[in-house]
Amino acid sequence: MSKHVIEDAMRCLQCRTPMCTKGCPVETPIREVIRLLLDSKIAEAGSMLFENNPLSLVCSHVCPQENQCEGHCVLGRKGSPVQISAIEQYISDYYLNIHKPHVSKRTRGKVAIVGSGPAGLTIAFLLSRRDFDVTIFEANDRIGGVLRYGIPEFRLPRRVLDQLMDALFASGVRIRPNTAIGTTLTADDLFRDGYQAIFLGTGVWRPRRLNIPGESLGHVHYAIEYLRNPSVYRLGKTVAVIGAGNVAMDVARTAFRQGAEEVYVIARRGEESLAALPIEVQFAKIDGTQLMCYKEPVRFVDEGVVLADTKLERDEAGRERVVRVPGTENLFPVDSVIIAVGQGPRAVIVSSTQGIEVTEQGLVAVDESGRTSRPGVFASGDVVTGARTVVEAVRLSKKVAAAIEEYITSLAG
């Protein structure tokens, strides 16, 4: 691993205008980091990464680098780009093992962070660093949100999240696990108890339904719930996954690792139009996944799922749409079906808190700095944007952290 990292770092051209940084949503200073690594200053390189992005190690595992930093590397125009993700991963992993964080003095105000996914973790690190008194409220028993309960272990090792949890504790952040805000405790309780700002980073955990007959049958499951704890499911030998995004590929690959022998991904369009990244589709195929394109489920039955053929046609406005081909329904026998067509936010916090507006999609409505319609309540991440990448959540949350700091400072002034 280290030999590969050094050899790739030495390939970096140290461009005067580093396109890799321009391609990164959080503008990671890749050129400078690589220079520090090659100058035997790995701790400084790690500090630079962590200060810019507290989830740098996470992003090195799960970011779509082929569309971002590596996709913008000039060496990739005629050959292979510098493997920036591997370099970032090596440096960040080293740094978290030696990192001694600034311990918050807790002198600048109390902040409650509801949810510990990518957005919540970013806010916690940034505000703790600025001497705020930060408490994370997490509904599950461990932090991480979608990082822990929605991304398979083979893509993001759990030890990475445990390292981040240790760093949070070391910085003075308090964590209340198994505490769901909106049920026993409400946002009003938090304000009553002296929290001056509340950050909502609860993600999107409500599975999107297909609303077709048979969806309540015992062999039909939802992807976001399956990925939370796949070992408790008994899927059988043959599995159909409905959906064509990255989550569907994660489900398919996880099912193989849990004992499935045949896994089929059912997509309404052709392979060239799948929502999943090409690299994720390729990995799923390597694991044994079979794609069934131009098919859609009509109903679920005890023996499996009834599928119909689909085709593309254009409407009067010239827009392409998927339509079902009449008379093509056929039973596709499988032991289990997993629906992976997206998810939305649960409304428990918003419904228990007055003054927080939501969009037509049920997402929390905010301005460009994450301010909700209720003063003192901020939000970012998937509960605002819908499911997005980790690095995008980090980018937006850096703005929100600055807005929270400004808001609490204004209260004191």
What are the tokens at 304? 């499996």
**Percent of the chain surpassing pLDDT 90:** 81
* DSSP-based three-state secondary structure for 275: coil
Q: Kindly report, residue by residue over 332-348, the tens digit of the pLDDT.
A: 999 999 999 987 766 55
Render pLDDT for 34-66 as a digit per residue (tens, 0 to 9). 999 999 999 999 999 999 999 999 999 999 898
Q: Would you say 226 and 341 are in contact if contact means Cβ atoms under 8 Å apart?
A: no
Residue with tokens 């209260």: 411
Contact yes or no for 47/95 (Cβ under 8 A): yes
Q: Are 2-98 and 207-342 in the same CATH fold?
A: no
pLDDT band per the 50, 70, 90 thresholds, residue 320: confident
Mean of pLDDT values over 302-318: 91
pLDDT in tens, 12-42: 999 999 999 999 999 999 999 999 999 999 9
User: CA of 358: how far to CAs of 209, 366, 370, in Å?
Assistant: 20, 8, 13
The gap from C-alpha 27 to its chain's centroid, in whole angstroms, comes to 19
Report pLDDT for 413.
65
> What is the SS3 assignment for 126?
helix
**Does 207-342 carry CATH code 3.50.50.60?**
yes
Mean pLDDT of the chain: 92
Domain ranges of the chain: 2-98, 110-205+345-412, 207-342
Q: How far apart are CA 277 and CA 123, in angstroms?
A: 28
Residue 80: CB atoms within 10 Å: 11
Checking if the pLDDT of 168 tops 70, the result is yes
Q: Which CATH architecture has domain 2-98?
A: Orthogonal Bundle (1.10)
Question: In the CATH scheme, what architecture does the domain 110-205+345-412 have?
Answer: 3-Layer(bba) Sandwich (3.50)
CA 177, CA 194: separation in Å to the nearest integer? 20
